[in-house]
C-alpha cells in the first residue's frame, strides 16, 4: 500500500471510529473460538468472519428461542450485538484499521426460532442496519436470514460475514 493509500485508509478508519463513538458503540474484544477453527481468514481481498453470537465480554446476552423466550425486539438486539462482534473481528483482521474495509459483502444469519416463526429477515435487520450506519455505503450488502430449532450455547442468533478489504 502506498503512503497516499495508507493516509486515505487511516482517514476513513478515523471517520468510522468517530461514527462508532457517535452511535455510542464500544466494540467488544474479539471473541475466541469455542472449537477447532479460527475467528477469521483473509483470502485475497476478502475477510471471512466465523459465526458470531450475541456475546459481550464473553457473556451470552440473548439466549433461547425467538417466539418463545424472546420477542422480536430482543432478537433484533441480539443480531445487532452479533454485528458488533463481526466488526470487532474485521477490525482485528485489518490490524485495527476499519478504514481498510471497502465493502461489507455478505451477512448470513441463523435465528434460533420456534416452528412457524417467519420474521427472520426482521431479526437480521438489526445487524444489517448497524452495518449501514457504521460503514455507510460500504455497509450495503447481500444477506440470507434463515431459522433453526437450536443454536450452539442456546444463542438466539448467530451471524457470519464476508468483507472486502484493501
Confidence of residue 34 (pLDDT cuts 50, 70, 90): confident
- The 8 Å CB, 24+ separation contacts for 35-42 are 39/89, 39/92, 40/89, 40/90, 40/92, 40/93, 42/93, 42/165
Q: Which residues contact 137 (CB under 8 A, 6 or more apart)?
A: none
What does the pLDDT look like over 36-61, one tens digit per residue? 999 999 999 999 999 999 999 889 99
Task: Find the domain containing 82 and state its range.
Answer: 3-165
What does the pLDDT look like over 119-162, one tens digit per residue? 999 999 999 999 999 999 999 999 999 999 999 999 999 999 99
What CATH number corresponds to the domain at position 34? Answer: 3.30.1330.40
Q: Is the dihedral of CA 77, 149, 144, 30 positive or negative?
A: positive
What's the whole-model pTM score?
0.95
DSSP letter assigned to residue 103: E
What does the pLDDT look like over 89-130, one tens digit per residue? 999 999 999 999 999 999 999 999 999 999 999 999 999 999
Number of domains in the chain: 1
CA distance 54 to 73: 14
C-alpha 166, offset from chain centre: 19
In this predicted structure, what is the pLDDT of residue 57? 87
Q: Is the dihedral of CA 60, 130, 44, 3 positive or negative?
A: negative
Cell of 54: 450475541
Amino acid at each position: 500500500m502506498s503512503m497516499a493509500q495508507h493516509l486515505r485508509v487511516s482517514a476513513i478508519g478515523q471517520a468510522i471510529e468517530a461514527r462508532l463513538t457517535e452511535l455510542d458503540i464500544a466494540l467488544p474484544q474479539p471473541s475466541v473460538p469455542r472449537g477447532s477453527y479460527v475467528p477469521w481468514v483473509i483470502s485475497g481481498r476478502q475477510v471471512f468472519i466465523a459465526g458470531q453470537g450475541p456475546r459481550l465480554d464473553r457473556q451470552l446476552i440473548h439466549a433461547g428461542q425467538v417466539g418463545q423466550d424472546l420477542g422480536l425486539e430482543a432478537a433484533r438486539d441480539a443480531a445487532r450485538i452479533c454485528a458488533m462482534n463481526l466488526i470487532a473481528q474485521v477490525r482485528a483482521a485489518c490490524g485495527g484499521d476499519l478504514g481498510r474495509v471497502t465493502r461489507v459483502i455478505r451477512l448470513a444469519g441463523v435465528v434460533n426460532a420456534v416452528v412457524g416463526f417467519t420474521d427472520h429477515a426482521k431479526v437480521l435487520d438489526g445487524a444489517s442496519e448497524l452495518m449501514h450506519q457504521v460503514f455507510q455505503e460500504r455497509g450495503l450488502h447481500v444477506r440470507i436470514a434463515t431459522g433453526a430449532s437450536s443454536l450452539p450455547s442456546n444463542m438466539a442468533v448467530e451471524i457470519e460475514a464476508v468483507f472486502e478489504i484493501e
